[in-house]
Amino acid sequence: MGVIRERQIRAILYCLDNCNIIAHTPRSALTDRFTSHSLWIGSWVVSSFAANDLCEVTDEQSLSRSTESRFTAFITTLISTLKICSKTKDLQGGRKVHEYILKNGLLVPCLDALVILYVKCGALATARDLLCVHKSKSVSCWTALITGYTQHGHGREALYSFELMQHEGVSPDSLTFTSILKACGTVKAEVKGKQIHDKIVQQGLLDGDVKIGTAIVDMYAKCGNLIKAQHVLEELPSRNIVTWSALIAGYAEQGQGEKALSCFEMMKHEGIVPNAVTFVSALKACGSINAAEKGKQIHDEITRQGLLRNNHVLATALIDMYAKCGALKRAKRVLDELPSRNVINWSALIAAYAQQGQDEQALSSFERLQDEGLSPTSVTFASTLKSCGSLKAAEKGEKIHYEIERRGLLHNDHILGTAVIDMYAKCGVLSKAWTVLEELPYQCVSMWAALIGGFVQHDKGEQALHCFKLMQQKGISPNVATFSCILNACSHLGLVEDCFRHYSSMRCKHGIDPDFEHTTCMVDLFGRAGHIDRAVKLTMEMSFSDYPILWYALMSACHKWSNMNIGRWAFRHSVQLDAQDAGVCNLMANMYKANGVESYVDIDSCTDQ
């Protein structure tokens, strides 16, 4: 600690007695009077010393034994002050204490507490600079930094800090590994995760540490490698409900509902009783595979355990499960019966109404949540706008748009921006849709897709094509959705060659494989234009032969152009897919009739040919 001036020591001791009173008072007693008590302590310490620095100090003395021990106690108090600042996320107060620490050369003993303070307050760059400049060897501080980066959604920074830490000669321990695995999961860095997994195994850290094993399972699950995740889980020396939940959540997230539910059963078979977290993932699995009955069973289990009383996450998962299974009345009932509702519960229901075309219900729910004193979020707005678009309720949509603007929500939210543009576009207020797009500080391909789609929907194909050009001039590459719109636009305008040019450019220029919808659009246009041979060629090339609509498009063309041979051929393919399809049979019958063919070939004889 070195030699400290006696006057300063005396001041420190004076502070110490006072600070201790505050620092050791139970938090509950502090909250009312000192909402910002850490700041108060910080500024008090600083001002006391500022006053003291004005005093002229003439003599310097070595510290006596008792003074030294009291000094140590003071450092402890400073650290306590920093801890209070950390807990209350009082960055301003913490900075003042930091200033004081620097001014008095007390950094070394306080370094760890300072780093933690900056991590907790989200000032991660400052924390990292402190660690680097002072070449900290504290593995716990480095781990705290890595955790901080991960929690704030900066997985890459977490990985970088992990490298920096090792560069400083600090070896990671179990806690660091657990933390960095989480970072790998968030950025899907499976290769890095695998390296860490190997190191953990080499160091024998898996034995007796369920948390680190769970973190490995979760890492693979979040990276989408469920086979590996399940394999690791099966080989772990010990596992618990959290390990299983990580795996089930992974399967549910990937839309592998069956697998998720079979793991859910395997877990129960091991004698582990599911908890709220497991139920959330199991419900998500049910929603993804339309398993309403299984979902209902889980719902009953949840009710038996009384878990819905105080768990909004679980309630949302339940509402969403019923919604995804199309059981909107049940979803609504779950929401209505909750002891308390939050905005996410409501948003899940509104999203379901909007997606399933129950737009009036979506709008009335939007009103109801506000009547309950809740405030819509970007997610709520996005779904509500979708319903406004479907109802062509431009006035209502505009009101919501203004509210979004008022709250400044459009600046960094692509999804919400797209929803606003799409609402105006669907309502036919295309100039407004375009203005919104132009005024946004960033533009993305889905916003353009919404605008272009609007032009197509309102029979303004020329303008759609113009937008398509403009978008690419701005350096934005079209995607699958954009091409659907553009091909449709060309189709409506009867621009056969343009349409085929765009269709061909998908693969060769943009690396996008045309899907069945694009191909159907092209086949339909070729067919209507009388290019039956090109339509057939495309149908054969694209191996979409199991899509009835494609054959229907081809048959319609044959009907129009009285091409009985190809028509019969298409009909055979079509009935092989669905022998009961009345539309196809009628079309074929009409074709025969129109061409004066007396003997209508029935389905059975067709399939036999």
Partner DNA sequence: GTAGGGTTAG
Residues 316-335 that bind DNA (CB under 7 A): 316-317, 320
Residues 403-462 that bind DNA (CB under 7 A): 414-416, 418-419, 422, 444-446, 449-450, 453
Q: Site for DNA (CB under 7 A): how many residues?
A: 77
**Does 344 participate in binding DNA (rule CB under 7 A)?**
yes
Residues 147-166 that bind DNA (CB under 7 A): 147
**Does 190 participate in binding DNA (rule CB under 7 A)?**
no
**Does 200 participate in binding DNA (rule CB under 7 A)?**
no
Residues 387-406 that bind DNA (CB under 7 A): 389
Q: Looking at 42-50, 152-160, 345-353, 581-589, which segment touches DNA (CB under 7 A)?
A: 345-353
Report the distance separating Cα 392 and Cα 414, nearest Å: 22
CB-CB contact of 159 with 183 (8 Å): yes
Residues 55-74 that bind DNA (CB under 7 A): none
CB-CB contact of 50 with 10 (8 Å): no
DSSP 309: G
CB-CB contact of 77 with 20 (8 Å): yes
Q: Which lies closer to DNA via its Cβ, residue 81 or residue 179?
A: 179
- Burial label for 65, CB within 10 Å (0-12, 13-18, 19+), is exposed
**Does 472 participate in binding DNA (rule CB under 7 A)?**
no
The distance of closest approach from Cβ of residue 284 to DNA in the complex, given in angstroms and rounded to an integer, is 6
How far CA 360 is from CA of 332, 336, 346, 390, 419, in Å, comes to: 14, 18, 15, 10, 18
Residues 353-372 that bind DNA (CB under 7 A): 354-355
Q: Which member of 46, 130, 226, 246 binds DNA (CB under 7 A)?
A: 246
Nearest CA-CA partner of 171 in 137, 130, 211: 137
**Does 214 participate in binding DNA (rule CB under 7 A)?**
yes
Q: Looking at 194-202, 277-285, 293-301, 560-568, which segment touches DNA (CB under 7 A)?
A: 277-285
Q: Looking at 22-30, 156-164, 347-355, 506-514, which segment touches DNA (CB under 7 A)?
A: 347-355
The distance of closest approach from Cβ of residue 252 to DNA in the complex, given in angstroms and rounded to an integer, is 7
Cα angle 505, 518, 256 (rounded to 5 degrees) comes to: 110
Phi, psi of 34 (to 5 degrees): -120, 70
CA atoms within 13 Å, Cβ hemisphere of 57? 15
Q: Which member of 80, 179, 463, 539 binds DNA (CB under 7 A)?
A: 179
The distance of closest approach from Cβ of residue 100 to DNA in the complex, given in angstroms and rounded to an integer, is 22
Report the distance separating Cα 104 and Cα 187, nearest Å: 42
Q: Which lies closer to DNA via its Cβ, residue 476 or residue 606?
A: 476
The distance of closest approach from Cβ of residue 160 to DNA in the complex, given in angstroms and rounded to an integer, is 17
The distance of closest approach from Cβ of residue 353 to DNA in the complex, given in angstroms and rounded to an integer, is 10
Alpha-carbon torsion (571, 572, 578, 580), positive or negative? positive
Q: Looking at 135-143, 526-534, 546-554, 573-581, which segment touches DNA (CB under 7 A)?
A: 135-143
Sorted by sequence, the CB contacts under 8 Å of residue 343 that are 6+ apart come out as: 369, 374, 375, 376, 377, 380
The distance of closest approach from Cβ of residue 73 to DNA in the complex, given in angstroms and rounded to an integer, is 21
Q: Which lies closer to DNA via its Cβ, residue 390 or residue 505?
A: 390
Alpha-carbon torsion (34, 35, 39, 43), positive or negative? negative
